[in-house]
Structure 1
Amino acid sequence: MPPRLASAVSLVLLAACPGDTNTSTGTDSAGTTDTTTTTTGLTEPTTDAPPTSTSTSTTTTDATATTTTSGDPPTTGTTTDAPATTDVPATTSSTTDASTTTGGAVDGELGCAPADLFDFAPFAAADCFCGDACDCYRDVPYGEGVSWNEPTLDGQQLSQAVDIYVPKDMSDMPAVLWAHANGSSKSFAANSGLANNALGPAIEAGQVVVSVEFRHPVTNYDDGAPNTDLVDAVQFIRCNAPALGIDPTRIAGLASSRGTLMVWTAVQPELADPNSPDPVKRQSSRLAGVYAAQAQTSYWGQWIADTFYDPQLHPLLLGQLPANDIALGHAVGDVTAAAPPIHLAYIDPLADLPIDAQSIGMVDPVHLPNFGDELCKAYAAAGHPEDCSVDYEVPQNMIHAGSVSFFADLFGG
């Protein structure tokens, strides 16, 4: 087998390898560039017979990306950088009754009682990336506070924790949970493309930003990582919504590559445990929506092989997978009528299928845009194609910028 083919296929499968970097270099319209090069793996079934896809590619130029919603013809739209700024710190509100979020039926609680709120004061930090526009809290533990050695960061020890950036002088704010790519952590540079194109504009628009450190069921497979760390983070933030000035019905996700575990999280049914003695576990796990860059919408190897690849490549693909990869997560198969709005952005055009030994070296198998195409087909099959859309051929330095308009629409301004 040609070395190029073996190398390209390994990118799909070897999720524990370093690679999914998320750095900022060069310049864009905001003064920085996001460079996303990632490695993440594969997952789970909820259907007996995986569907197959036959897609055609679309093209765009410069900062204009092609947007498609499953079942509709492509339309073009230009991504923008940032909304108007607003100085903003939180006042508190308390919500404990269950209701309905943008993302569908909610069976869990929406906010903890005052006695159950977390004490954020010891975690207050002075060096907020947003300067005087926000208050911030660093390394706040959530879930079980589990620690692990991250293979994509040379074994650096990480733990379940979040950094929280709260706009000043506002209440009932939406919240955006950021889930990073492999090769990076919840920390990010103040002058990065991510900060300038997405997280900074979110603060300016009056949205609380929560950057999450989390395990991934493929990347951290050897540590027995579950696929529920982001669920735990959602429930922790929702429990403490009254303390942070967050509207508990308006919590959404922003993700890149590895972080698109957030897509799996978003399409799950309600995961709250109403009988738990832990008030956090009684919180709704539902998200109002997700903006995902370079997303994998399944980690189930057999489905990926059957859907995207020529049968001659299947032995190589499937021979490198975890034995129980079927359980890692298959967002495409979990979409229902209650799944929330999701927008996906990819650097490349749709690949011609099936991918064979001659064409595999021409695609990014980890961030195959066809992952997004298949998710939108699932939304169409569930009866609401308008809630899934994809941008193809987005300039690399603008891959997160589309989140600004997405969240403005999702949160109502």
Structure 2
Amino acid sequence: MRTLPIYLLAVLVAGSATLLGQDAAPSKKAAKPLGPQYDASVPKPTFSEVKYGDHPRHVIDFWKAESDTATPLVFVIHGGGWQGGSKERVHRFADVNALLKAGISVAACNYRYVKQAVQSGIEPPVKAPLHDAARALQFVRSKSEEWNLDKQRIGAAGGSAGACSSLWIAFHDDLADPDSDDPVSRESTRLWCAAVTGAQTTLDPKQMKEWTPNSRYGGHAFGFGSFAKFLEGRETILPWIAEYSPFALVDKDDPGVYLIYSRPPAIGENQQDPTHTANFGVKLQEHCKANGVACELVYPGAPHVEHETPTDYLIETLQQKQR
């Protein structure tokens, strides 16, 4: 296997979105930084800042592939721990140019952070980013005729928290409400596939601790200030874990998924980066196989690798006429 793409290392580094640029001409006023900007490798979206809801972060960018027939779609959910990041990180999770060349359109969404969920009294806080992403997906499906999209062949992509969100949508029962007066709510949330980077595959602190003893991530998703309190309070939130942890939702009717990590796994051992350890991938792959769900796992030295990158997987899988 060739060396993993360099963006896999970048995607696992949490932090604020990069601010680029300054006024071209000298000014007595302080230069005003621009907002989040796309990497130079990413083409200009066909449509930018399309609103799918009422919150300022309820926006989508869309790249339309040229085609005489309806195109598949890759739906990208950015990472950042559900606490930061933006859709402009799309290049870290999918190669937009390669997808467009393959006749696959792309959409990337923003969503509310957990801090905004807390301010709004949403419980658990993780409900806001997860349901926002699902709503954004429904909105894109509602635009299928206008944007020339195949409603069936939609694959999700993302990194870290965005990867967890993608897996949650992939494994969750359809959130469509066929009786709703809202046409967007009537759209399906089911996926054709998902290809994700550095995913947290469970939000159960007991599983995290068993798989990776130095786990420290996830408490904020349920309103806990530390992992210790998260673990201590686990029994009180079991219904939330059952609803929002991807691992808990896997069943035989779910689409296939692809997981990629930057370091090899070591189950039961402390990890250099426990938040993005391949231990998550090993355990989800075991669980998927036990439930008859296809799951390709990639890391340095991994056996049986068929696709080097998430984009490779997405192109091949979304171009299939049948899943």
Report the TM-score when normalising by structure 1: 0.57
Counterparts in 2 of 1:236 and 1:390: CA distance versus 1, 3 Å: same
Pairwise CA RMSD: 3.3
Counterparts in 2 of 1:181 and 1:30: CA distance versus 1, 3 Å: closer
- Find 2:286's aligned residue among 377, 380, 383: 377
CA distance in 2, matches of 1:137, 1:308: 42
Instruction: State the partner residue of 2:118.
Output: 222
Matched ranges for 1:221-300 at <5 A? 222-223=118-119, 224=122, 225=125, 226=127, 227-260=130-163, 261-300=165-204
User: Which SS does the other structure have where 1:269 is aligned?
Assistant: coil
Greater share of residues in strand = 1
Aligned-pair identity (%)? 22
Question: Which deviations, in whole Å up to 9, do the C-alpha atoms of 1:205-250 show, x marking residues without a partner?
Answer: 1111101102355x76634342311111111111111110001111
Instruction: State the partner residue of 1:198.
Output: 95
Instruction: State the partner residue of 1:37.
Output: 12
Q: Which amino acid aligns with 2:132?
A: D
Contact 1:302/1:318, CA 8 A, preserved across alignment? no
Question: Which deviations, in whole Å up to 9, do the C-alpha atoms of 1:149-176 show, x marking residues without a partner?
Answer: xxxxxxxxxx111000112344310010
Counterparts in 2 of 1:408 and 1:372: CA distance versus 1, 3 Å: same
- Find 2:85's aligned residue among 156, 181, 184: 184
Larger radius of gyration: 1
Counterparts in 2 of 1:273 and 1:33: CA distance versus 1, 3 Å: closer
Question: Which deviations, in whole Å up to 9, do the C-alpha atoms of 1:88-111 show, x marking residues without a partner?
Answer: xxxxxxxxxxxxxxxxxxxxxxxx
CA distance in 2, matches of 1:233, 1:302: 31
Matched, 1:172 2:147: no
CA distance in 1, matches of 2:5, 2:210: 41
Greater share of residues in helix = 2
Residue 404 (structure 1) shift: 2.5
CA distance in 1, matches of 2:43, 2:265: 36
CA distance in 1, matches of 2:6, 2:58: 31
Counterparts in 2 of 1:34 and 1:370: CA distance versus 1, 3 Å: closer
CA distance in 1, matches of 2:310, 2:79: 16
Instruction: State the partner residue of 1:138.
Output: 48
Residue 32 (structure 1) shift: 7.7
- Find 2:309's aligned residue among 393, 398, 402: 402
Contact 1:301/1:318, CA 8 A, preserved across alignment? no
Matched ranges for 1:21-100 at <5 A? 35-38=10-13
Q: Which amino acid aligns with 2:50?
A: V
CA distance in 2, matches of 1:294, 1:173: 27
Counterparts in 2 of 1:335 and 1:352: CA distance versus 1, 3 Å: closer
Instruction: State the partner residue of 2:220.
Output: none
Residue 251 (structure 1) shift: 0.9
User: Which SS does the other structure have where 1:347 is aligned?
Assistant: coil
Question: Which deviations, in whole Å up to 9, do the C-alpha atoms of 1:310-333 show, x marking residues without a partner?
Answer: 89xxxx833256956642621111
Q: Which amino acid aligns with 2:311?
A: V
Instruction: State the partner residue of 2:296.
Output: 389
CA distance in 1, matches of 2:211, 2:161: 21
Counterparts in 2 of 1:310 and 1:295: CA distance versus 1, 3 Å: closer
Instruction: State the partner residue of 1:303.
Output: 207
- Structure 2, unmatched stretches of 5+, are 16-39, 216-225, 302-306
Contact 1:179/1:256, CA 8 A, preserved across alignment? yes
Residue 371 (structure 1) shift: 0.8
Contact 1:300/1:325, CA 8 A, preserved across alignment? no
CA distance in 1, matches of 2:227, 2:8: 33
User: Which SS does the other structure have where 2:96 is aligned?
Assistant: helix
Residue 187 (structure 1) shift: 1.8
User: Which SS does the other structure have where 2:280 is aligned?
Assistant: helix
Give the number of aligned pairs.
Answer: 264
Report the TM-score when normalising by structure 2: 0.72
Question: Which deviations, in whole Å up to 9, do the C-alpha atoms of 1:178-225 show, x marking residues without a partner?
Answer: 111114311248xxx638x612211111111101102355x7663434
Question: Which deviations, in whole Å up to 9, do the C-alpha atoms of 1:118-143 show, x marking residues without a partner?
Answer: xxxxxxxxx99425xxx61111111x
Contact 1:128/1:136, CA 8 A, preserved across alignment? no
- Structure 1, unmatched stretches of 5+, are 1-27, 41-126, 148-158, 395-399
CA distance in 1, matches of 2:92, 2:142: 27
CA distance in 2, matches of 1:310, 1:178: 29
User: Which SS does the other structure have where 2:182 is aligned?
Assistant: coil
Q: Which has the higher contact order (CA 8 A, sep 6+)?
A: 1
